[in-house]
Structure 1
Amino acid sequence: MFAQSDFAGAWRMTRHIDDRFAKQRGVFVGQAILKRHGETVLHYHEAGQLRLDQGPAMRAERNYIWEFAKGHVDVSFADGRPFHRFVPEGHVAGSDHPCGEDYYTVRYDFTNWPEWQAVWSVTGPRKDYTSYTTYIRISDT
């Protein structure tokens, strides 16, 4: 099982998005920086360029808080609202996240560490997409 120190650092990331509702595909290329904040917390910040179909590239960013507890990681939005939970090992499903009428499910794959993946499936009355994100370590902190 991986610990906080295993994730701390910079990661190159590529995200492919298959948006069936909007009938478009997207690619995000950027970095995720996971900075230590105390003994059990990482601040997650991703930033990069998102391009949908042949449209112009646009800047995209996200921030989360990862809190490591015994046997799992709790992920919260930057404002502290709970998002989901996962076990940092193997090929595992994270907890689901209902958001209004939309429903988010995630599956993590750590079997090729230090490369890892997160696959999100999102469904709802106005959403129907899957995103595939690959993380490759750039540096430790």
Structure 2
Amino acid sequence: MVCIKLLEQDSKFWNSLGWQPETGILNMPVNLKKEYDDDAESVITDQRYQYIQKLIETTVKKPAAKMSVSDGIDSIVTNRILGIPIFVLVMWGVYYVSVTTLGTLVTDWTNDTFVAAVRDGPEAETAGASY
């Protein structure tokens, strides 16, 4: 901890110990900057994260990742070979449903009820009564 505070050139640390910085110690951050091409604080932070990463790699054991249902579907639908035929099949299905089955029902309902109601609305009744 003391060495890290010396490298960081922490003035509060120096004052709390009552130390006067020595020339050799003050040159250490400059040498680090030349060697790592970064300031001392960044080098220290990077080294801390590298140490933490090594600890995690050696101690934490993750179970083998299972493929979710969504990942399984994605791997099939986005397949290089099967992707385009599946897309064409889905588009044909959407077209077939919209034009033949469900589309016909909605179109017939719209023509029979909505258009008829607009055409034969309240204006037609008042227009017929005036003659």
What range is the shorter-chain TM-score in?
Answer: under 0.3
Higher relative contact order (CA closer than 8 Å, sequence separation 6+): 1
Largest Rg, 1 or 2:
2
Identify, as 1 or 2, the structure richer in strand: 1
Task: Name the one with the larger helix percent.
Answer: 2
TM-score w.r.t. the length of structure 1 is: 0.19
